[in-house]
Every structure is written in structure tokens, then in C-alpha cells.
Structure 1
Amino acid sequence: MVMYMTDLYETEEKIKDVVMLAARILLEAGAEGTRVEDTMTYISSALGYKGSNSFVTNTVVTYLLHNGTHPRIYRIQTRDTNLIRISETNRVSRHIVSGELSLDEAWEKLNYIDEAIDDHPLPFKALAGGMVGLSFLYLQGGMMIDVPTAILAGGIGYFVTEYISKKVETQFIPEFIGSFIIALLAAFGHMLIPGGELSVIIISAVMPIVPGVLITNAIQDLFGGHMLMSITKLLEALVTSFGIGAGVATVLIFL
């Protein structure tokens, strides 16, 4: 009897470890709250615990396997957008539900996702940011003469924003500085190569740092009935957008 209780306790602790790790990876990678809670419920149900409870915000994960066990609480310190991590974690979850993975195998795969699957290198992301700026310049009917300025401003601005966000824990400061640099480069480029539209260049170049995924996730959580998560993400997106606008306005005031 004692051996059975010990084995049951160890199994339940391992289940909680797997569920919490999956939830942490998803939230830190930018997944919406409804996805995270559904994933935790699916894994628990597949492993025989259909009465589990989970509650997720953008900063905290709370999980209860059943009424006779201690709850788990984890504070989310960092948040980013990494669709590869979300996709791979969802794949592990589906394999657990279908019975293709054991608990230990799922734990190993989730640890691999957490430790080995990293984001793209910052220079590559900066290049992609420049291409995003170029795309929005085209969508807004920008002029060919503004292409170099939009690419450089978008790429360098995104690089600065990402670099500062890794060094400074304070929210919204990286976006303010990044948008300030973008507006400064756009104004300088417009002076060197006149003839285009400064407003179109700035709008195009700031698009890589606009919190589009955050807004999309907030709307998804709203439709999913996760009101607290939706409101906090909308507020975060609002303040981030304000920081971007303030950085651009600071430059334009002195022009």
C-alpha cells in the first residue's frame, strides 16, 4: 500500500511537471491564454485526471491536478513571440493525448524545446524587420526613392528594440527607444534623399515593432471568454503603442 501511494505521488508530480513546463513554454513564446489552458486540460485528461483545474494570466500560471493535491504556481518572467516553440509544444501535447508519448518521453521533448529551440539570430531578425518595412512601404503606395530609408530604418530600429529588450527588464522602454531611432533615421534619410513622404517611411519602418501578435491574442482570448487575459494584453498593447508613438513624436517635435 505504501509503495502504491509512493508511486502514485511520483506519477502525479511528474504529470504536474510536464503540464507546467508545457504551459510555461507556451506563455513565454506568446501563446494566448485559452490555448495554454486547453493544452493543460487536454494533457491532464489524457493521463486520467479529468477534474484538473488551471488558471492562466500573461504573468502567472496556476494548476491543480485534483482536489487532493497541492497546487502549482509559476511566475512568467519573460514573454516573446516564438511560433516554433508553440508549434512544437502543441505537437507534444497532441502526441500525449493520442498515446504516442509516455510521460518521461514528453518530459524529455519539452525540455529539448525549452533549452535547445532558440529564436532566430538577432541580425537575421533585423534583416526580416527591414523587409517588413519594405512590404508596408509598398502597401502604402510609397515611392521607390524611399526604399533604402525604409529598409534601414526598419531593420536598425528593430535591432535596437530587440537588443535593449534583452538587456533591460523594464517594459515599453525598448519600444520607445526603437521608435525614436526609427524616426531619427527616417528623417535623416529623407533629408539625404528628398522627394518621398516622411510619414509613409516612418509608418512603414515602425511596423516590425508594433505589437500585432499581442493584439491578435487579446482578441482571441476575448472571443474565448478569457476576459482578464484579454484586458491585460490589450492594456499592454495600448501602452506599448503609446511608447512607439511617443518615440516618433519626440523626433518630429524637433524637426
Structure 2
Amino acid sequence: MLAARILLEAGAEGTRTEETMSYIASHYGLTENNSFVTNTVINFMLHNESYPRIYRIKERNTNLIKISKVNSVSRKLVRDELTLKEAFNLLEQIYIKTKDHPIWFKTIAGALIALSFLYLQDGLKIDIFTAFLAGALGICVTEIIKKRMAKQFIPEFFGGLTIALIVVTGHTYIPGGDLSTLLISSVMPIVPGVLITNAIQDLFGGHMMMFTTKASEALVTSFAIGAGVSSVLIFV
């Protein structure tokens, strides 16, 4: 259950989460285990005569480091390189000590992502500074609001709004570039790419509920970004 909690809260797909729980339980002879996970709930039963264990997932983020570490622990456990107690202690350390990246790190990463997409779309050199600043501040604003209020739509809306304001201002004072290319490149750091990818993986894995919820979440996030950008462009 702890492994599943870490995986789901770190943004893993439902297939991976269910297989990890089943993988560990089956190794210890509990082959009749049953699991069912969604974005917000884990249901797991060791065998037909046991009560189901249920855990509510309240926070979700993208942390591929946590997912990788949990996968490593489960494989070592199945290879008998770890005892159950050692594995549980390692999972607790992963859950408590593996923190999300700091905002300054995400800000720098957002700036580099924006520049990368500007390059991929054949953007002009004159737009480099604007894309760098918009990508950095856009993800910075989004992450700050997310930490203060765990709600959908609002952080991404203000992130898109910030990006559009910077891009339009930069395009006005440093003319000559392409506004559309600049906007697309700058919003890429806050686009829910991992969420969309995981939704498709859950679809292929037969997890229709996980696919529906993740696809809906990605749609709301994308709409929020579009609404934020459009709010500025309407008045331009």
C-alpha cells in the first residue's frame, strides 16, 4: 500500500501501481491478491478472506525520481535482496525524504524548456530573451499558487496569464519575432505532458476509469492555460 501511495502521488499510471502491489504480494505466496486504483483511491486485498485496504490519495504531482526508486525497491524485494522490513523502511525514506524539486530549479528548467521549443519551432533569435523570461516566470507563478492552494484550473490559469502578458509585452518592445511561435514555446513548461502520456498508457492497459479521470484532468489544465492566454490576447 505504501509503494502504491508513493507511485500514485508521484504521477505513475494505474497499470504500474497495480502491477507493483501484485508483484510484491505474489512473491510471498499471496497469488489471489486483488487491486483496483484510480487517481484518488487505492483498493487492495491480499486474498479472498481478508478485508480490503483502502487509501485516499489527496495530493498528486509528477516526481519520476520517486517512481524509479519504488521500482528499484520492489525488484530488489522480489529478488530477495531485501527483507520486508528493510523494504518498508526504504519506502518510508522515499516517501518522507525524497522531496519535490525546489521552485528555483523548476524556474530554470521552465526557461530551458521554453528555449528548446523555440528552437524546435524555428523561432527567431530576437525572441530568445522573451521566451526565457516567459517560460521561467510562467512555471514559477504556477508552482507558487499550487503550493498555496491545491486546486485545479486556478494555478494554470494564472500561469498562462503571466506567460501571455510577458510574451505580448516582449513582442511589443522587441518587435520582429513571431507571436504565435513565442506563445506556444513559452506555455510548454506548464503543459500537462506526463499526465496526457499516462492517460494514454492507462487506456492501452485497459484502465478506462484512470484514462477518463486523467484525460479530464489534462483537459481542464489545458483549458485553464488557454483561458489565461486568451484573456490577454482578447485585449491586444
Shorter chain as normaliser: what TM range?
A: over 0.9
Q: 1:177 aligns with which of 147, 158, 162?
A: 158
**Residues 150-189 of structure 1 mapped to structure 2, 5 A cutoff:** 150-189=131-170
What runs of 5+ residues in structure 1 fail to find an aligned partner?
Answer: 1-19
Q: Is the 8 A contact 2:152 2:220 kept in 1?
A: no
Alpha-carbon distance in structure 1 between the residues aligned to 2:150 and 2:234: 28
Shift of 1:153: 0.2
Runs of 4 or more consecutive aligned structure 1 residues displaced over 3 Å after TM superposition: none
Whether 1:115 aligns to 2:87 is no
1:71-220 matches, cutoff 5 A: 71-220=52-201
Unaligned runs of 5+ in 2: none
Query: For residue 237 of structure 1, what is the aligned residue in structure 2?
Result: 218
Q: 1:173: how far off?
A: 0.9
Considering only aligned residues, what root-mean-square deviation do their CA atoms show, in Å?
Answer: 0.7
How many Å separate the matches in 2 of 1:234 and 1:169? 19
The question of whether the paired residues in 1 share the 8 Å contact of 2:131 and 2:167 is answered with: yes
Q: Distance in 1 between matches of 2:101 and 2:219?
A: 27
How high is the TM-score relative to the length of structure 2? 0.98
Letter of the structure 1 residue corresponding to residue 201 of structure 2: Q
**Identity over the aligned pairs, expressed in percent?**
63
The answer to whether 1:56 aligns with 2:37 is yes
Distance 1:142 1:247 in 2: 22
Deviation at 1:192, TM superposition (A): 1.5
Cα separation, 1, equivalents of 2:101 and 2:150: 20
Cα distance in 1 for partners of 2:3, 2:82 equals 14
Distance 2:191 2:40 in 1: 21
C-alpha separation between the residues in 2 aligned to 1:238 and 1:78?
Answer: 18
Q: CA deviation at 1:134?
A: 0.2
Deviations 1:103-150 (A, max 9, x none): 100110000000111122110111010000000001111100000000
Q: How does 1:25-36 map to 2 (within 5 A)?
A: 25-36=6-17
Query: Highest Rg: 1 or 2?
Result: 1
**Normalised TM-score (structure 1):** 0.91
In the alignment, the residues of structure 2 paired with residue 169 and residue 30 of structure 1 have an alpha-carbon distance, to the nearest angstrom, of 15
Code of the aligned partner of 1:27:
L
Quote the Cα distance in structure 2 between the aligned partners of 1:225 and 1:155.
37
Matches of 2:182 and 2:2, distance apart in 1: 42
How many correspondences in the alignment?
A: 236
Match of 2:46 in 1: 65
Q: Secondary structure at the match of 1:199?
A: helix
Show CA shifts across 1:19-64 (max 9, x none): x100000000000000000000001001221100010001100011
Give 1:195 deviation, angstroms. 0.9
| SS of structure 2 residue aligned to 1:137 | helix
In structure 2, give the amino acid aligned to 1:69: S
Instruction: Spell out, residue by residue over 1:48-83, the C-alpha distance to the aligned partner (whole angstroms, 9 max, x if none).
Output: 211000100011000111122221111111111100
Partners of 1:129 and 1:47 lie apart in 2 by: 44
What letter matches 1:183 in structure 2?
A: A
